[in-house]
Amino acid sequence: YYYRILSGQDALSIFEKERAWHVPEKLDLLAMQ
């Protein structure tokens, strides 16, 4: 599987809406590993 997570204040484009998750908060990458 391939997961794509976009973080930040920018909204997803119309091309990314169905293919990515948007998380507006800063991600803790160490906790996710």
Q: How many Å from the N-terminal Cα to the C-terminal Cα in the chain?
A: 16
Predicted confidence at residue 26, as pLDDT, reads 85
Q: Distance between CA atoms of 5 and 19, rounded to whole angstroms?
A: 9
pLDDT at position 24: 83
Q: What would the pLDDT profile of 1-33 be if each residue is shown by its tens digit?
A: 787 777 778 878 888 878 887 888 888 889 988
* Beta-bridge partner residues of 21: 5
